[in-house]
Chains A and B, each alone.
Chain A
Amino acid sequence: MNTLRQLKVGTHAIVRQIETSTVVGQRLLALGVVPGTKICVTKIAPLGDPMAIEFNGCNVSLRRQEAEGVFVEMES
């Protein structure tokens, strides 16, 4: 399975699993990034980090290292 970090800008994916023991994982869950949520990487900052993601109409900035705890499946 891919992690969110590996997604290219503009690709859509579905969240399958989240690393829940980290504070980041907990925060993402609270924001509604639960398994089954559609997610999309919309931008990567000019310096290469962080990335902007979109889910349920919400735009959030996430450091790429933090995105490693989000496992996704590409949407075909």
Chain B
Amino acid sequence: MNEDTKPQAITIGVVGNPNTGKTSLFNRLTGLRQRIGNYPGITVERKQGTAFLENKAVTLIDLPGTYSLASNSPDEEVVLDVLCGQMAKEQPIDLVLCVVDTSNLQRNLFLATQIADLGLPMVIALNMWDEAESNGVDLDINQISTQLGVPCVATNAKKGTGVKTLQKVLQEALETQPRLNKTIWPKSVEDATDYLRDAIGEKHNLSDAHLRRILFDAESSLTDKLGWTDVSKKHFLTEARQFLLQDGLNPLAAEALLQYKHIEKLLKGVDRKSVVRNQRTESIDRILMHRGWGLIVFGALMYLVFQSVYSWSGPFMDVIDDGIGWLQGSVGSLLTNTPVLQSFITDGVIGGIGAFLIFLPQILILFFFVALLEDSGYMARAAFLMDKLFSWCGLNGKSFVPMLSSYACAIPGIMAARTIENPRARLATVLIAPLISCSARLPVYVLFIGAFIEPRYGPWWAGFTLFAMHLLGILLSFPISWILTRFVVKTKSSPFVLELPPYRAPKLNDVLHRMYLRGMDFLKTAGTIIFAMTILVWATLYFPRPEKVSQETTQSFVTELSADRSISVEQANTLLQAKTEESDALREDLNLAIENAYVSQSYLGRVGKFLQPIFSPAGYDWKITLGVMSSFPAREVIISTMGIIYRIGDADEESESLRHAMAKQKWDNGPRKGQPIFTIPTVLSILIFFALCQQCAATVGVIAQEIGWKWAVFSFSYMTILAWVLAVATYQIGMLLL
């Protein structure tokens, strides 16, 4: 492990409900001394930092925000496992810092009492103390501390008040080990846990607190780990719960009832306005959640978010693009004597760095807005407004922002799916996000529609086709999500019980902090994967590279030239060496021919030729197939590959010469010999293939980072198959109709 988690380091776990300002307080205590990652094997974010108390450095773990320890979601499981010291590679927790929203003591203390039940010492931060005071709640911190039995500190994480005191109190608590006054469980609960202990046996050394979780929770993940069969599970649980039923307790409600009764006692005499009304939030909600105005504001805000990711990132991406290009040029010119090394360094290494760096502006900008939306409390409202659109197919209202961002680029979109608490909906959102037509598809659409649809059917149909291509992916994404969540994704769903927190002004520091951590995480994890993939793709396109390919191509080029111009081979050779403009053009043509020859016999090129029969039913010849193959790392690459294959040189989507070259292509063998290759069915088939196929190594990399390699491979496979099936169907039906 690393220096932050040396053995014997003191570890404090920071827990709390969502929306309590927990992360804000964590940032206050640790500053920039933080690292984020994932818990091994699961997609729960792990955040660790170093805090300096009065005279010692301690490790702080920011655990996911949860309402309960009932392990109904991966987040809750992580909190329970870490607190119990059962998480692999995690230090045991020495002290818990429980962050509480002062305006909502009762609800927040439920989690605290559950943690106290585990036997851990605790300090409570009564956060947003002043918000409660301004809402008219009159609290006495000493009274609360005394009644709860643990030191409580009034804090305001945003302003930083109370943080100094908190550091001091944490330091003292490491010595004094204060514990919250626990619930005294009735005898029936103890009988039931005793029964469970015997039933489970010595093998699993479980504490009473663990046994109570198995007893109380409807679907505890702990129970799944016991190795019971379904029958014995049902038997043991029914028997154990019988003790409670005989005592007149509903086993599945008993914990909440008893704990809330206990909390009631703990808070006796503490002022809690039964309903703390937040007037400001109510009046803002009258507009933002209004069925007319609410939707208008939502539309406007989402338009702003989309614009920022789509357009504002442009200049930054251009700078990165130009910088990479400049670096490739200047480093490349130093290595002209060693062509293999030159290509490796410029196209492989520098190209590989550019391949992931280019996504950074969009990620940072999107996460700036995501953090603003979440910290202000609006994100939950947006999800509330949109949920109905998504709920029928296993997604939820929080899928909106990731899907919208995916119109710009799937990378930030997939990362934004982290805001979805429900693990199943999150997984489904990540899996469908790449179907949505991203901006990298646009040049491909423009090239083919501009070359074939517009000249033949006019601008109206061209526009319509472009629009339809943008709609295709999103329209398919809903039914696909429906299928995935019903038949493929086994991850447990969690309810859409979403807190609508009071509106609060976001703190710029926290927002920037989040943006920074997200960006660093992307560079370190997905960046490495994308870099490695770029090198791999470079190698399969570059090798093998025998000298004779170049010689043979030059020879046949010269032969063709002499035949074309009716000159001798020597004359053709001389013409090629001359210092005229015409010869320059010829030499450029020759270089393209050589490059083309190398690409076609490269490993990837060979795969393309080998796979050509598979793409034949979609109407593609081997050149289009090669173009499609070469664009798997990044779809827009097809345009430059086409430029090489049709010997145009540097081509972009507006390039007239490329359009002419494509229009002139004819089948050179087979039943359609002499007919044009690019007919309308073929063009539509290509468009549909590009609209649906996951031709983006960076997307595969980021899916692997977010939900694991298994799903990354699945996502790539299902999209490729889907794209192929619909491309073939389009071509075959098109050939029948046209």
* A residues near B67, Cβ cutoff 8 Å: 27, 30-31
Q: In this assembly, does A43 line the interface, its C-beta being within 8 Å of a C-beta of chain B?
A: yes
Residues in A neighbouring B285, C-beta threshold 8 A: 43
How many cross-chain pairs have Cβ atoms below 8 Å apart between A and B?
129
B257 touches A34 (CB 8 A): yes
> Do B218 and A56 touch across chains, with their CB atoms under 8 A apart?
no
* Given A57-B277, A60-B497, A61-B380: A49 in contact with B387 (beta carbons within 8 A): yes
Question: Are A27 and B257 within 8 A (Cβ)?
Answer: no
Q: Does A1 contact B (CB under 8 A)?
A: no
Of the residues B252, B383, B497, contact of A31 by C-beta under 8 Å: B497
Q: Complex: how many Å from CA A61 to CA B388?
A: 12
Does B330 reach chain A (CB closer than 8 Å)? no
CB distance from B493 to the nearest CB of A (A): 8
Q: Which residues of B contact A31 (CB under 8 A)?
A: 67, 107, 110, 497
Name B376-390 residues within 8 Å CB distance of A.
380, 383-389
Q: Are B380 and A66 in touch, CB under 8 angstroms?
A: no
Known contacts A27-B72, A30-B70, A52-B289; A47/B498 CB under 8 A: no
Mark out the residues of chain B between 150 and 189 whose CB falls within 8 Å of any chain A CB in the assembled complex: none
Closest to B135 in A: A57
Report B-chain residues with C-beta under 8 Å of the C-beta of A62. Answer: 496-497
Chain B contacts for A43, CB-based, 8 A: 285, 289
Enumerate chain A residues within 8 angstroms of B278, measured Cβ to Cβ: 57
Contacts of A7 in B (CB 8 A): none
- Please indicate the chain B residues that have their CB under 8 angstroms from the CB of A45 in the complex: 289, 384-385, 387-388
A63 touches B107 (CB 8 A): no
Q: How far apart sit A24 and B218, CA to CA, in the bound complex (Å)?
A: 11
Complex CA gap A27/B495 in Å reads: 8
Give Cα A45–Cα B661 distance, bound, in whole angstroms. Answer: 54
Q: How far is the CA of A56 from the CA of B501 in the complex (A)?
A: 13
**Known pairs A20-B253, A31-B497; A26 contacts B72 (CB<8 A):** yes
Within 8 A of B (CB), among A41-66: 43, 45-50, 52, 54, 56-63, 66
Please tell me which one of the listed residues A20, A32, A48, A60 contacts residue B498 in the complex, with CB atoms under 8 A apart: A60
Q: A43-B285, A58-B499 are in contact. Are A34 and B253 (CB under 8 A)?
A: yes
Q: Are A30 and B387 closer than 8 Å at their CB atoms?
A: no
Interfacial chain B residues near A56, Cβ < 8 Å: 104, 106-107, 274-275
Q: Is the CB–CB distance between B253 and A57 below 8 Å?
A: no
Kindly state whether residue B733 has any CB partner on chain A within 8 Å: no
Are B388 and A59 in contact, CB atoms less than 8 angstroms apart?
Answer: no
A54 to B253, CA, bound (A): 20
Least Cβ–Cβ distance between A28 and chain B, in angstroms = 7
* A13 contacts B by Cβ under 8 Å: no
- The minimal Cβ–Cβ distance linking B280 to chain A, given in whole angstroms, is 13
**Interface size class, chain B:** 35 or more
A76 in the interface (beta carbon within 8 A): no
A contact residues around B274 at 8 Å (CB): 38, 56-57
Q: Is B295 close to A, CB under 8 A?
A: yes
A52 to chain B, nearest CB (A): 6
Query: With A and B bound together, what is the CA distance between A64 and B260 in angstroms?
Result: 26
Set of chain B residues within 8 Å of A24, measured between Cβ atoms: 495, 497
The answer, yes or no, to whether B68 is at the interface (CB within 8 Å) is yes
Partner of A20, one of B250, B273, B499: B250
Interface string of B450-471 (1 = CB under 8 A from A): 0000000000000000000000
Contact A61 B383 (CB under 8 A): yes
Say yes or no: A61-B253 contact (C-beta < 8 A), given A27-B72, A30-B68, A56-B107: no
Mask: chain A, 9-47; 1 = CB below 8 Å from B; 0 = not: 000000000101111111111111011001000010111
Within 8 A of A (CB), among B7-56: none
Q: Which of A21, A57, A61 is the one whose CB lies under 8 Å from B218?
A: A21
Q: How far is the CA of A59 from the CA of B497 in the complex (A)?
A: 10
In the complex formed, the residue of B with least CB distance to A21 is B218
Cβ of A50: which chain B residues have Cβ within 8 Å of it?
384, 387-388, 391, 496
Contacts of A59 in B (CB 8 A): 281, 499-501
Option from B110, B253, B294, B495 in Cβ contact (under 8 Å) with A46 = B294
Instruction: Tell me the nearest residue of chain A to B498, going by C-beta.
Output: A61
Q: Which of A25, A57, A60 makes the CB contact (< 8 A) with B252?
A: A25
Q: Which of A22, A35, A60, A66 contacts B499 (CB 8 A)?
A: A60
List A contacts of B103 (CB < 8 A): 57
B252 contacts A23, C-beta separation under 8 Å: no
Complex CA gap A43/B294 in Å reads: 12
From known contacts A22-B218, A29-B253, A43-B289, infer whether A49 and B497 are also in contact, taking CB-CB under 8 Å: no
Inter-chain contact A23/B385, CB cutoff 8 Å: no
A16 to chain B, nearest CB (A): 12
Known: A20-B252, A23-B219, A30-B110. A46 touches B499 (CB 8 A): no
Q: Is B347 interfacial (CB-CB < 8 Å)?
A: no
Nearest Cβ on chain A to B307's Cβ, whole angstroms = 23
- Which residues of the other chain, B, contact A57 by a CB distance below 8 angstroms? 103-104, 273-278
From A29, which residue of chain B is reached at the shortest CB distance?
B256
A28 to B712, CA, bound (A): 35
Answer yes or no: B291 CB below 8 A from chain A CBs.
yes
The smallest C-beta distance from A59 to any residue of chain B, in angstroms, reads 4
B375 part of interface (Cβ distance < 8 Å): no
Q: Does B232 contact A (CB under 8 A)?
A: no
Q: How far is the CB of A67 from chain B (nearest CB, A)?
A: 10
Contacts of A54 in B (CB 8 A): 275
Q: In the complex, which residues of chain A have a beta carbon less than 8 angstroms from the beta carbon of B276? A: 57
Query: Distance in Å from the Cβ of B183 to the closest Cβ of chain A?
Result: 14
Q: Across the interface, which residues of A come within 8 angstroms of B498, CB to CB?
A: 60-61
- For window 292-316 of B, CB contacts with A under 8 Å fall at 292, 294-295
Name 9 A/B residue pairs within 8 A (Cβ), A-sorted. Answer: A20-B218, A27-B67, A29-B255, A35-B257, A47-B387, A52-B500, A59-B281, A63-B387, A66-B496
Residues of A within 8 A of B (CB): 18, 20-32, 34-35, 38, 43, 45-50, 52, 54, 56-63, 66
Top 4 nearest A-B pairs by Cβ distance?
Answer: A47-B388, A30-B68, A20-B252, A29-B256
Give me 13 other A-B pairs in contact (C-beta within 8 A), A59-B500, A63-B496, A66-B496 excluded. A23-B219, A23-B495, A26-B70, A27-B497, A28-B497, A29-B257, A34-B260, A38-B274, A46-B385, A48-B388, A49-B388, A59-B501, A60-B497
